[in-house]
Amino acid sequence: MSSTEKIRIEVAYGRPDEQFLLDVEIADGATVEDAIQASGVLEACPEIDLRENRVGIFSRLVKLDSRVKCGDRVEIYRPLTADPKEVRRELARLGKTMGREN
């Protein structure tokens, strides 16, 4: 494909109360950052800071300068609000497990 051809990808971001899954058509050879910029999600979600938020393609962490391919789903991840190890320790202390009710 030449760089003037377009590819279709998705950009995904989730808030606790709202999810965004945006179809984007961008130039072949575009980066993850290009896709995020073209999606409009940064305007809709001003809390996103690409210097801080991690990004991925289909749940696999990537850098902003990674190239996207047709059909990719670019994901923007929110920072963790709780340390998963601490949550497991507290649940174990209470005699519970994650994902199941005792």
**Residue 17, SS3 per DSSP:** coil
**pLDDT of 93-102, one tens digit each?**
888 766 655 4
Domain count within the chain:
1
Q: Is residue 73 part of a domain?
A: yes
Q: Among residues of the chain, what percentage have pLDDT more than 90?
A: 72
Q: Partners of 14 in the beta sheet?
A: 19
Cβ neighbourhood burial of 42 (10 Å; 0-12, 13-18, 19+): middle
Q: Is residue 10 part of a domain?
A: yes
pTM of the model: 0.76
Q: Domain of 46?
A: 6-93
Q: Partners of 27 in the beta sheet?
A: 6
**pLDDT of 17-56, one tens digit each?**
999 999 999 999 999 999 999 999 999 999 999 999 999 9
Q: Is residue 101 part of a domain?
A: no
Q: Give 89's pLDDT tier (boundaries 50, 70, 90).
A: confident
CATH number for the domain harbouring residue 87: 3.10.20.30
Better-scored residue on pLDDT, 10 or 94 = 10
Q: Is residue 98 part of a domain?
A: no
Q: Tokens standing for 33?
A: 């950052």
Q: Is residue 34 part of a domain?
A: yes
Q: Is residue 102 part of a domain?
A: no
Whose tokens are 């590819």? That residue is 7
